[in-house]
Amino acid sequence: MRIAVLYTGSVLNLEKTIPLMKDHLLKNHVDSLEIYAVLELDSPSNEAYYKELLDENLNPYMKSLEWFSRSKQNMDYIEDILMNRYNFSETDRLSIKQNGAITDQYQIFMAYQQVVHMEFMENFKYDYIVRLRTDAMITEMVGFSSFYLHTSEIKKRFKMIKKKTGDPDLNSISNLTIFMNSLLNETRIKTDFSVVESHIHHPDFYKIVHMSLSDTNQQLFYNAIKKYLKEGRYVLSFYKNKFYLGNRVSFERLPHMGINFYGQYSESDFSLENDRKWFDPEHQLNTNCKDQSISNFYSVSVLENELYSGKSE
């Protein structure tokens, strides 16, 4: 299994987040994980310092590093092109400029281009692609081997989930949603979630939901889950969209949102929730997934919500 990480964002958070990244993501995947970084410096004079920090902590995982510059990448022009294409209001234009949403997505696109180049040059395809922002505080172990769970392990996890939810139906939406959102770490089953959602945009998942189950054919359900984990069209999204991943086929078109599609999905495409703006990355990703018939499983734990809202010590 080979995994590409699109590592993007500002360098300002690296001292805080790299230790968490090393402990909870990298050390379990020494031979399988490779990083393609597009990072924005706080000042050109700090390039040597951050290059050394990255070399010390991310070798041998780092495959490429590109320093992002708004002027070099001509971001004002790109933002204007996208916002003119999709008729952003002046208020929305100002918000986009301030929150850097298109810049964030464009960095993903740049890193993905490096992945595509490497695949072409070495004649292979990654199995999974991860989008990881530099301010993502990974607070739990991440295990990609979960995509290849044995049916006995799947059965054990659903037993834990049914105990948590009190829902006796194996293939209920609530039980399946928690299963998918805790896939990379079993302990997440017991997590208190601030948000746990499933946005189902592909029929392969509904085939599982609508299976007629009895005590004698539950093995068919576990086999269907095992197949879905390996072949299904879905992404897993965590940490308020700072970390999401999918298999190679599911991820194929998502990085192009930053250069072709950002803003394509208007507020008429979905209902607003929790005062989130329609042009926020969470909404744009989910509606892009909908357009591509890719299911999106999204969760934020109570702890993560506190960390990103500044309420945690």
Whether 107 and 258 have beta carbons less than 8 Å apart is answered as: yes
With 70 as the cut, is the pLDDT of residue 172 above it?
Answer: yes
Confidence (pLDDT) at 272: 43
Q: What percent of the chain has pLDDT over 90?
A: 43
Confidence (pLDDT) at 7: 97
Residue 43 CB burial class (10 angstroms; 0-12, 13-18, ≥19): exposed
Confidence (pLDDT) at 85: 72
Q: What is the CA radius of gyration of the chain?
A: 20
pLDDT band at 275 (very low <50, low <70, confident <90, very high): very low
The pTM (predicted TM-score) of the whole model is 0.88
Confidence (pLDDT) at 206: 87
**DSSP-derived secondary structure letter, 26:** I
pLDDT band at 262 (very low <50, low <70, confident <90, very high): low
Confidence (pLDDT) at 116: 96
Give DSSP secondary structure letters for 175-191: HHHHHHHTTT-GGGGGP
With 50 as the cut, is the pLDDT of residue 282 above it?
Answer: yes
Once rounded to an integer, what is the mean pLDDT over residues 64-80?
85
- Measured between its terminal Cα atoms, the distance across the chain in Å is 37
**DSSP-derived secondary structure letter, 23:** I
Best-predicted range by mean pLDDT among 21-35, 46-60, 78-92, 209-223?
Answer: 46-60
Confidence (pLDDT) at 17: 92
Whether 40 and 107 have beta carbons less than 8 Å apart is answered as: yes
Whether 74 and 39 have beta carbons less than 8 Å apart is answered as: no
pLDDT digits (tens, 9 = 90+) for 110-154: 999 999 999 999 999 999 999 999 999 888 888 888 899 999 999
